[in-house]
Amino acid sequence: MSEISSQLKDLKETLPENCTLVAVSKTKPHSAILEAYETGHLDFGENKVQELTQKADQLPKDIRWHMIGHLQRNKVKYIAPFVHLIHGVDSLKLLREIDKQGKKAERVIDCLLQVHIAEEETKFGLDKQELNEILHGEELTKLSNVRIVGLMGMATNTNDEAQVRKEFNGLNLLFEEKKHSDHDNVKINTLSMGMSSDYPIAIQEGSSMIRIGSAIFGARNH
């Protein structure tokens, strides 16, 4: 068994049944992704559109590609025909563009709304008021080619576990509150939080989807 497949197997054995593991394959070669794929793993995450489209074009067609990076509106058209889930939707403008490109591709695109939970200025995301405006606004009901399936957040990059736990806990409370939103195109059942450095805390605080790169593939190639 290769190093990658054994890391993946060990990791999966520690996860709760209802937790989806997205293997973050950004900067990784096709051979590494195929090693993980050969174990039966199908969910892979990329944070750059160009890399995502190249890999989707050249790798097995049943892979479920997750767009986990910050997405610019002018790049949506390249991934709309095939992307499985867009994680970082942080504005109504972006949602409109995803809907527009979803119509052209004749499909409904699943999205997570990204909530700003970290104390760092560099992290993208909606505040609670902006989240409410999108979820309870009139316009969402007209966007028939997007479906909001959950929330996503990134904790502060810190060794302070209490801080990370507090941020994840706050997002989980918001998730529990929003689970009952009832538009046709809102089915909130996914809480995406937790990466290689903090996923055990995220799972304890209710995460149902984690994004793991280095703990599977080793340190990132720059």
Domain-located, residue 112? yes
- Tell me what pLDDT residue 35 has: 95
Domain-located, residue 49? yes
Residue 44 belongs to domain with CATH number:
3.20.20.10
Give the range of the structural domain holding residue 194, as residue numbers without chain letter: 3-217
Q: Residue 222 — very low, low, confident or very high, per pLDDT cuts 50/70/90?
A: low
Q: Burial letters for 168-177: b for 16+ Cβ neighbours within 10 Å, e otherwise?
A: bebbbebbee
What's the whole-number mean pLDDT along residues 91-115? 98
* Mean pLDDT score of the chain: 94
What's the whole-number mean pLDDT along residues 191-207? 96
Domain-located, residue 70? yes
Could you report the per-residue pLDDT of 32-68, keeping only the tens digit for each?
999 999 999 999 999 999 999 999 999 999 999 999 9
Domain-located, residue 176? yes
φ, ψ of residue 90 to 5 degrees: the values are -125, 20
Domain-located, residue 222? no
DSSP string computed for the chain: --HHHHHHHHHHHHS-TT-EEEEE-TT--HHHHHHHHTTT--EEEES-HHHHHHHHHHS-TT-EEEE-S---GGGHHHHTTT-SEEEEE--HHHHHHHHHHHHHHTS-EEEEEEB--SS-TT---B-HHHHHHHHTSTGGGG-TTEEEEEEE----SSS-HHHHHHHHHHHHHHHHHHTT---TTEEEEEEE---TTTHHHHHHTT-SEEEESHHHH-SPP-
Question: What percentage of the chain exceeds 70 in pLDDT?
Answer: 97
- Tell me what pLDDT residue 123 has: 67
- Tell me what pLDDT residue 181 has: 76
Q: Residue 2 — very low, low, confident or very high, per pLDDT cuts 50/70/90?
A: confident
9 pLDDT higher than 60: yes
Q: How many domains does the chain have?
A: 1
- Tell me what pLDDT residue 184 has: 85
Domain-located, residue 80? yes
Determine if the pTM surpasses 0.85. yes
